[in-house]
Amino acid sequence: MEIKKIRLGNLLLPSNVLMAPLVGYTCYPFRMLAYEMGAGLCFTEMVSANALKYQDQATKRLLLTTKQETIKAVQLLGGIPTIMEKMACSELLKDFDVIDINMGCPVPNVFKSGEGSALMLDQPRASAIIRACKKSGKAVTVKCRTGIREDKMFTAEFARMCEDAGADMITIHGRSRSMMYEGRPYYEEIEQAKTAVSIPVIANGGIFSIEDATQIMEQTGADGIMLARYALENPFIFSTLTRKKCEKTLLQVVLEQIDLVSGYYDETFSLAYIRKLAAYGMKKRKGTKQYKERLYRSGSLEEVKEVVKLIFA
């Protein structure tokens, strides 16, 4: 695939290979890893605007960043324009350059609350939310799906609404809300959206190899791709795609992640994160079942380090 820079408002993203916001994974340490490997933009985990309004401490922790993260992007979840505007303009998000509005989350409790992919059913409200977030002066992006059901998709129409409301970029997961995370993505829907708007369109969904990345770019004509779960399994996909030199082993990467996460988070969070990350890394390695059991029994980061050395030696 062609690697190029993307203009996003006043920002210039160094590459068109992006990392998706993933609950439980895209904390500060993983974002720094993705950037080091060549990612053009990484997002925080999904952050609830409503929870931020009430100063929820666990939610505020999701916003952890430092000056070393040169481009900072937060994904905001919410369904009420006034609350989204208040949070987008708040001191809590003052360090962030980009606000990505979640209009694609398919999980039932989010959908029933009128947030996430439910916003695709209410385009006037979705438009009002984009316009509200634009008042922050930050670049505003939208992550959505192809629609709610497979038999009635309206990706291009929704993309035009996003552009008209002021969105600087749109990322499209090639599945409908009813498909959740399974089934063949509808790349033709992404292609139709790309031809309908002039803002950058990023293709997401079903990318688990370099071949997949090349295929989705060719089929959709998108400006870039957004990786998700596969990047957890193989973070080197960023450096491979962007041709950025990297001589580290997976063992070195995981050990560095342990050091980084322990420097910013408590041990409970650090243990949970490293266990999950290491489990993804050993996904296709033979004979690792016994190590996975030891990994989850480990009660300290030092124990985890020893198990990790055995797994990725």
Low-confidence ranges of the chain (pLDDT < 70): none
Query: 237 and 273 share a domain?
Result: no
Q: Are residues 228 and 262 in the same domain?
A: no
Measured CA to CA, the distance from residue 187 to residue 174 in angstroms comes to: 6
Q: Are 269 and 165 within one domain? A: no
Task: Say what the pTM is.
Answer: 0.95
Give the pLDDT score at 243: 94
Same domain, 46 and 104: yes
Let me know if residue 305 belongs to a domain.
Answer: yes
As a whole number of Å, the CA-based R_g of the chain is 19
| pLDDT at position 98 | 98
Instruction: Provide the number of structural domains found in the chain.
Output: 2
Q: Do 226 and 131 fall within a single domain?
A: yes
Single out the residue in 215, 242, 269 at which a domain terminates.
242
Among 242, 271, 303, give the residue marking a domain's end. Answer: 242
Q: What is the pLDDT of residue 1?
A: 87
- The pLDDT tens digits for 118-135 are 999 999 999 999 999 999
State the pLDDT at residue 85. Answer: 98
Q: Locate tokens 């996904």: which residue?
A: 283
Contacts 24+ apart (CB under 8 A), 80-86: 80/49, 80/50, 81/125, 81/128, 81/129, 81/131, 81/132, 82/132, 83/49, 83/50, 83/53, 84/49, 84/129, 84/132, 84/133, 85/132, 85/133, 85/135, 85/136, 86/49, 86/53
Q: Which amino acids are annotated catalytic?
A: 105
Last residue of a domain, one of 205, 220, 242: 242
Amino acid at residue number 224? G
Q: Do 213 and 280 have their domain in common?
A: no
